[in-house]
Amino acid sequence: MPNQPERIVVEPHQSLPHTAASWIADSIADAIRHTGTCSIALSGGRTPRGVFAELATAFRDVPWRHVHVYFGDERAVPPNDPNSNYRMAREALLDPVHVPPDHVHRMEGERADLDAAARDYERLLPVALDILLLGIGPDGHTASLFPGAPALDEHTRRVLPADSPFPPPRRLTVTPPVIAAARRVAVIAEGADKAGIVRRALEGPLDPHALPVQLALGGVWLLDRDAASGLARVPA
């Protein structure tokens, strides 16, 4: 039985960065309409950079003064390291749109005691994020929840240190309860290299221990045509 996420959005006439940036801008506006503020956790890796750049340039009316920015995961590196998810977000989005510095809540991956860093971050992470952005790795990981990881069975801690099979080897990550509690979740993926893992996640057996990104099947999956090309049914 295919796993049916809330919806798959494949935009053949728009770029994925624009489609994803539009969804994020709309989601921020909706959260602010309801509560006057918005908490969004950003995803890391390479894919988001283009999305964040589009968000910064094509959606300049986003009221960032009402937005608090968090992160779904971070590498255990300093914040100015080329591998830092914070650095990528700062360069592509946070600096260009002038998010107030006290509204940016980065994970302190540089700390020697990652468990203490995780516990400190958990204390400032909202009980329920308004928006959680996620990516999908070649092995089906999301955030820094990797296949078979102990964190996949975590029901209490909301942030944990993690080991990664991909460099950098140590991470901080949100855990399944954070994904479950988030009001809006989006998985953003582009490129033919993601087609196989997207197909496994959306149309294969349900097994989040093997495919942690399946924890986000209740969310919106924002895919370009290439990443969706392995699916049996691609929306027109």
Question: Which residues are at the interface with ligand 6PG (CB under 6 A)?
Answer: 43-47, 73, 85, 135-137, 141-144
Q: Cβ 172 to ligand 6PG, closest distance in Å?
A: 10
8 Å CB contact between 55 and 23: no
User: Shortest approach of ligand 6PG to residue 234 CB, angstroms?
Assistant: 20
Residue with Cβ nearer ligand 6PG (19 or 142): 142
Greatest alpha-carbon pair distance for the chain in Å reads 50
Give the shortest CB-51-to-ligand 6PG separation in angstroms: 10
- The token duo for 29 is 């506006």
Residue 187, H or E segment: strand 184-189
Closest-by-Cβ residue to ligand 6PG is 135
- The whole-angstrom separation of Cα 44 and Cα 52 is 11
Pick the closer one to ligand 6PG by CB: 142 or 214. 142
Of 5 and 100, CB closest to ligand 6PG:
5
Other CB atoms within 10 A of residue 153 CB: 9
Cβ-Cβ contacts under 8 Å for 35 (sequence gap 6 or more): 130
Question: Tokens 């990652």 belong to which residue?
Answer: 114
Query: Least distance in Å: CB of 206 to ligand 6PG?
Result: 20
Closer residue to ligand 6PG, CB minimum distance, 62 or 107: 107
